[in-house]
């Protein structure tokens, strides 16, 4: 696990003041030492879509924010872009936070790219960060995750767990970011079974933000995969992933779902599906968010490209469901090869 940076406390000792006493011979009194209070760091968090409660990407960011609030004593403010938000609306949110003295300001999701590129230069004294995108500004930290590496591990697990030799992938918006999840998943599965059948379906084309919130469409797509013989399905589709869980649960014993971003086996809102969630691909947005905040608290902001891969434990797989233990050795062996550079995972679907 990436280690958080501990908050350093600063002790300031007040100078002793001698009081003038006149000719009466009274002794001088000294002022008592006082401790200067360190200014509280104010953190602004701008969530994508509808914010917390997705059991995935935004909730992972909130977990990092909450840890920073508890461990580092920071003050927080959270805003949501909402579904269908424009670049102008996102720009207003980021400006609102920066104007309010929040520093750092963290944008959750590539959808903030254009807005952040416009806002960051206007506030050179504010540290910004963005997840899943690169914004070229000296005061921006670009938090990039090797999702293809974590997805490779889930592919190894899926192929190892499949009894039919047929698995599936549900994607949200059909963009390069999600294609990398699919590419890694496919490569990992084929490393176990070169002849495995892999079905794939996206919930919308590039630019269609509804792709992240159409669980009914994901359920229909998953139903079709299961009808065709798939018995393990992986979804990287935001809120649409709920439909995949619903479909796998309805299929019953012998079918598995694989979650994404957070450990979805432990998400309260998904508790009714947990017995069918074999594992989740962990994208440690929580770790990245915490590191960004801790760095500002300690006076050394993280800017530029910040890569979170397997070698830094920025991605991985969850083991909360004991059923995955049977496949852990294979996944861990694959992780070691990726971390060492012996295996290089692609980001393009072949």
pLDDT tens for 327-349 read 999 999 999 999 999 999 999 99
* Buried-exposed string 77-109: b where 16+ CB fall within 10 A, e elsewhere: ebbbbeeebeeeebbbbbbbbbeeebbbbbbbb
The CA-atom distances, in angstroms, between 312 and each of 100, 285, 288 are 33, 13, 11
Does the pLDDT of residue 284 top 60, yes or no? yes
Does the pLDDT of residue 50 top 90, yes or no? no
Please write the tens of the pLDDT for every residue from 110-154: 999 999 999 999 999 999 999 999 999 999 999 999 999 999 999
Instruction: Report the CATH architecture of 42-145+284-315.
Output: 3-Layer(aba) Sandwich (3.40)
CATH class of the domain comprising 148-282+319-340 = alpha beta
Predicted TM-score (pTM) of the model is 0.82
CA angle (8, 293, 318) in 5-degree steps: 110
Higher pLDDT, 60 or 218: 218
Domain with CATH 3.40.50.2300 in the chain: 42-145+284-315, 148-282+319-340
Q: Are 118 and 152 in contact (CB under 8 A)?
A: no
Characterise 189 by phi-psi region: left (phi > 0), alpha (psi -120 to 50), beta (else).
alpha
């Amino acid at each position: 696990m990436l280690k958080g940076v501990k908050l350093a406390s600063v002790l300031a000792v007040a100078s002793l003041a001698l009081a003038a006493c006149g000719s009466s011979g009274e002794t001088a009194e000294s002022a008592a030492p006082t401790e200067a209070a360190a200014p509280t760091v104010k953190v602004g968090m701008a969530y994508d879509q509808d914010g917390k409660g997705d059991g995935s990407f935004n909730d992972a960011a909130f977990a990092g924010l909450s840890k920073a609030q508890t461990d580092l004593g920071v003050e927080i403010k959270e805003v949501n872009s909402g579904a269908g938000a424009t670049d102008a609306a996102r720009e207003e949110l980021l400006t609102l936070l920066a104007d309010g003295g929040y520093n750092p300001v963290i944008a959750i999701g590539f959808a903030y790219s254009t807005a952040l590129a416009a806002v960051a230069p206007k506030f050179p004294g504010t540290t910004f960060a963005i997840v899943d995108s690169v914004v070229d500004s000296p005061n921006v930290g670009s938090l990039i995750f090797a999702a293809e590496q974590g997805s490779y591990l889930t592919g190894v697990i899926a192929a190892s767990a499949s009894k039919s030799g047929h698995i599936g992938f549900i994607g949200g918006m059909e963009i390069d970011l999600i294609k990398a999840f699919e590419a890694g998943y496919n490569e990992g599965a084929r490393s176990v079974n070169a002849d495995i059948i892999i079905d794939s379906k996206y919930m919308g084309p590039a630019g269609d933000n509804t792709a992240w919130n159409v669980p009914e469409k994901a359920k229909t797509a998953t139903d079709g995969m299961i009808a065709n013989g798939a018995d393990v399905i992986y979804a990287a589709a935001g809120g649409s992933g709920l439909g995949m869980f619903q479909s796998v649960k309805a299929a019953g014993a012998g079918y598995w779902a694989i979650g994404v971003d957070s450990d979805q086996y432990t998400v309260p809102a998904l508790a009714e599906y947990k017995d069918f969630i074999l594992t989740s691909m962990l994208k440690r947005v929580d770790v990245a968010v915490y590191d960004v905040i801790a760095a500002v608290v300690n006076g050394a902001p993280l800017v530029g490209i910040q890569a979170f891969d397997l070698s830094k434990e920025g991605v991985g797989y969850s083991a909360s469901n004991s059923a995955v233990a049977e496949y852990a050795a294979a996944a861990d062996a694959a992780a070691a090869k990726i971390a060492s550079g012996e295996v290089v995972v692609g980001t393009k679907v072949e």
